[in-house]
Amino acid sequence: MTRFLHLVLLTFCITFITCAQAQNPAISTNTKLINGKKYYIHKVAKGQSLYGIAKIYDVDLNALIVENPETIDGIKAGQELKIPAEKSKEQSMPTLKDYEKYVTHKVSKGETVYRICKDYNITEQQLNDLNPDVKKGLKENMVLRVKEKDANKAPAVTTHTTSVKTEVKETPASIKEKETIEPAIISKTEKDTTPVEVVNKPKKNKYNVGLFLPFHFDDLNELNVDELVMSKQDFPASQQMSLDIYEGLQQAADSLKTSDFEIVFKLYDSGDIDSLTTIKLTKTNEFKNLDLIIGPLYNSPFKIISAEAKKNQIPCVSPLTQQNKVLFNNVFTSKLIPSNNTLLQGLADYCLDSLKGQNIVLLNNGSVKDIQTIKTFKSYYNQKTKDTLTEAKGVAGAKAAYKADKTNYYVVLTENESFISDFLTQLNLFSDKKENLRVIGLRKWMNYDNLDLEYFNNFSFTCAVPYYIDEENPYIQKLKTAYQQKYTTTADDYYYVAADAGLYYFDLLKNMGGTFAVVMDDMPKKGTCINFSFTHPNNSTGFENQAVQIIRYNDYKLKKILYAK
């Protein structure tokens, strides 16, 4: 199974150390009047960052992004930006000082004023008084002041951040999907808006990374990797997976190693230890001195390890799980794989952004099991537009919804193999008389043995995935060759996922130390197989990677579509 996890590289972050600045920091003399408002038109110079430009014009970084929403995907030399010439007296975006005085809330896609006011137990008038621009409408990523902080509560987050300058050596990634539906985000009734007081950990030359993987060996001592490698034959699935993850992370660590930066792995067998032994381990000095923890792979042991790591503010990464509940009440946690709801949102965004004007038909197969999935997709789709999504029931409904003057995209969100097989067969017969038929479904379909790949190819089967491994990519080929030379066998996807993840997290350690953990939403980045675009709903919940890739089956191969959420 191959998949690409596309990562968006943003060239800005909220930072107290200035990124590389342009050689000419002068304010532009080019001005324009747009909708009655005066703007400087700034042409981005080579080496400039959004943060640096905001400093030149003395404007808030968030306000700059609102005026130029395309900058969320980064800026490049020659690009023109609109800079407000006059500061608004009613500025909706708080400055850094506001974080010291107010509880703030970043607006998520689809959120409403009513929902926000209910979450924070305030009136709409109170929200408008603090954020006058709310009357003009909410915008995604808008930062709102919701109420003054209680003096008796914990102080604001204090972090030391630096700009992350990473030469992204294209990397890979992977993980087996679990197709279960859960709430898209932590319930907002459980929201805690109190900021976490973060210990400022100085950067070091050597970092200890704990790997908690199910090697299934008898003791808890550090494993002898050389012996493990030598005996790698007919491994059980968990041991094979563990070794592939380790090897991918080691590849990343080796590529980043310099005279003043090194990753030292501490390996622990999470497969053969019980909860009591795990707790005892977390009390040791070795555990407390870890700088980053990857694993355990499964929810229950991960919660135990991450809860203890939280006491020492050690970042913990959940590399496989799709369930967001592992992030609850621990801002130092993050997970690589988007939830199924996030994948559905990415699919809805793709339909809205790339298939405008086409006939999009959401198929309901009548199964109670699939109702929630269909509702979730509709909810995300209808957040942006209304009355453009046609709903149909069964194969007969799909045929009746066909429009000859448009390309017809049938969105089928079920895992029912017999229904899918029948639908594709009937649609193929229907296509003898009709044209422009496409099918959008779930990645899991590709694992079904009884589905004819001819149909996938005929209908340009399209789906949303967390990652995609391009076998033709030179860096992927390089990694593949290195693995085969070492083990005389082929690596699973875990190896490639781990290599990408290692480059991301280890580079953050190198540039920021452990304080990166609470500002990951400001640290998006692009890898070869996986994108990293983290968000979290509040100041006490961890970060979900919400990067989504869209892939399509053409010419009997899965290929990425140049679209990413």
Token pair 């399509």 is found at 552
3-state helix, strand, coil in the chain (%, to 5): 35, 20, 45
Half-sphere exposure of 173 (CA within 13 A, CB side): 31
Distance CA 522, CA 296 (A): 25
How large is the angle between the packed helices 493-512 and 237-256, nearest 10 degrees?
40
pLDDT (tens, 9 = 90+) of the chain, 565 residues, equals 322 222 222 222 222 222 333 334 578 888 888 877 888 999 988 777 776 788 788 887 667 776 776 675 567 888 888 988 876 544 444 444 444 567 777 777 777 787 788 778 888 888 888 888 787 778 776 778 888 765 334 333 323 332 233 233 333 333 333 333 333 333 333 444 455 666 667 788 999 999 998 877 653 344 455 555 554 444 457 778 888 999 999 999 999 999 999 999 998 887 756 667 777 888 889 999 999 999 898 888 888 899 999 998 999 999 988 888 889 889 999 999 999 889 999 999 998 888 888 999 999 887 888 888 998 898 888 887 776 788 888 888 988 999 988 999 999 999 888 889 988 988 888 887 777 899 999 988 988 888 888 888 889 999 999 999 988 889 999 999 998 888 878 888 999 999 999 999 999 999 888 888 888 888 899 889 999 999 988 888 999 999 999 999 888 888 887 654 5
In this structure, what are the phi and psi dihedrals at residue 167, rounded to the nearest 5 degrees? -80, 105
Residue 243 Cα distances to 215, 216, 305, angstroms: 8, 11, 20
Distance CA 546, CA 32 (A): 36
Q: DSSP string covering 17-65, please?
A: SPPPPPS--PPPS-EEEETTEEEEEEEPPTT--HHHHHHHHT--HHHHH
Which pLDDT belongs to residue 226?
54
Record the tokens describing residue 101, joined without a space.
């005085």
Structural contact between residues 65 and 141, judged by C-beta atoms closer than 8 angstroms:
yes
Say what the pTM is: 0.63
> In one letter, which amino acid is 301?
P
Query: Which residues have CB under 8 Å from 125's CB, separation 6+?
Result: none
Distance CA 386, CA 34 (A): 29
Distance CA 239, CA 518 (A): 32
Which pLDDT belongs to residue 87?
61
Return the closest-CA partner of residue 136 out of 102, 107, 97: 107
Pairing of strands 549-554, 462-465: antiparallel
Q: Is the peptide bond before 172 cis (omega within 30 degrees of 0)?
A: no
Q: DSSP string covering 176-217, please?
A: --------SS--GGG---PPPPPP-PPP-SEEEEEEEE----
Return the closest-CA partner of residue 7 out of 539, 449, 467: 467
The number of beta carbons lying within 10 Å of the beta carbon of residue 137 is: 8
Structural contact between residues 524 and 74, judged by C-beta atoms closer than 8 angstroms:
no
Distance CA 232, CA 243 (A): 9
Edge-first strand order for the sheet with 408-412 is: 389-393, 359-364, 408-412, 437-440, 462-465, 549-554, 557-564
Structural contact between residues 173 and 469, judged by C-beta atoms closer than 8 angstroms:
yes
Record the tokens describing residue 499, joined without a space.
């290599």
Structural contact between residues 55 and 12, judged by C-beta atoms closer than 8 angstroms:
no
> In one letter, which amino acid is 52?
G
Burial class (CB in 10 A: 0-12, 13-18, 19+), 153: exposed
Which pLDDT belongs to residue 132?
80
R_g of the chain, CA atoms, integer Å = 25
Structural contact between residues 113 and 134, judged by C-beta atoms closer than 8 angstroms:
yes
Distance CA 182, CA 375 (A): 12
Residue 158 Cα distances to 316, 458, 500, 518, angstroms: 19, 55, 29, 10
Query: Which residues have CB under 8 Å from 43's CB, separation 6+?
Result: 28, 30, 78, 79, 80, 81
Pairing of strands 408-412, 359-364: parallel
Query: Which residues have CB under 8 Å from 482's CB, separation 6+?
Result: 251
Pairing of strands 37-43, 31-34: antiparallel
Structural domains of the chain, ranges and CATH numbers in brackets = 31-84 (3.10.350.10), 98-148 (3.10.350.10), 197-337+473-483+495-512 (3.40.50.2300), 341-465 (3.40.50.2300)
Q: Where is 288: in which H helix or E strand?
A: helix 285-288
Record the tokens describing residue 204, joined without a space.
């070091």
Distance CA 332, CA 306 (A): 8
